[in-house]
Amino acid sequence: MNRRRADTVAGSLVVVVLIVGSILTWQAYQQQQAFEQMGSMMGTSMGAVHGTNPLLYILGTLVVSAILGGGYLVIRDEIAGTVVDERSTTEMANPTDPESVESQEGAVQSEESIHPGSQSQDRVLDLLPDDERRILEPILTSPGLTQIELRDRSNFSKSKVSQTVSDLEKRGLLYRERQGRTYRIYPSDNLQQKQAN
């Protein structure tokens, strides 16, 4: 399930809860009004006889909506991480353009004959979008770059570099070490091991 679809499902669920809560509140209000009218015709108070107070329905609806929405927001990033991993494996298993697959295979084979150790590095880079590849390639060739140096090499804005590095770090492709007011960025141990094989 992709992130947009998950957002739609969660949003729809919250809307359904709000609609059902509104209907129940309206019915409780109508029932309360009917009992009050009957009590005024009989000259007695029927407040204790009528059902649940409509304010309780309003409060319950808001609490349930907040729990559903908040719970979804807490797990939303985990869903997005799973989606990115699924997308990467799907793209590797089900390529869409046969010509590009052949050209990629040819490029990998020719690269293997020149640099046999870079085979797994190229395969990892092939799975990444262009902006992530532009961030990861300099880190692989020069481990320990600062984010400022990386910004200069990639020609991205400061915020774009920071966001992309954070995303790659969450997926375990690199890690950062604080140095003063910036970070030094290194490829992950797993990526270095693949590169060495």
70 and 136 part of one domain: no
**49 lies in which domain range?**
3-93
Mapping DSSP to helix (H, G, I), strand (E, B) and coil, where does residue 85 land? helix
Cα–Cα distance between 92 and 101 in angstroms, integer? 10
**Which pLDDT belongs to residue 103?**
47
Task: Determine contact, residues 104/127, Cβ cutoff 8 Å.
Answer: no
Per the domain annotation, does 101 fall within a domain? no
Which residues, given as ranges, of the chain have pLDDT below 70? 1, 43-51, 79-126, 190-197
Beta strands at 182-187 and 174-179: parallel, antiparallel or unpaired? antiparallel
181 and 132 part of one domain: yes
Per the domain annotation, does 105 fall within a domain? no
**Which pLDDT belongs to residue 1?**
55
Report if pTM > 0.85: no
**Which pLDDT belongs to residue 22?**
92
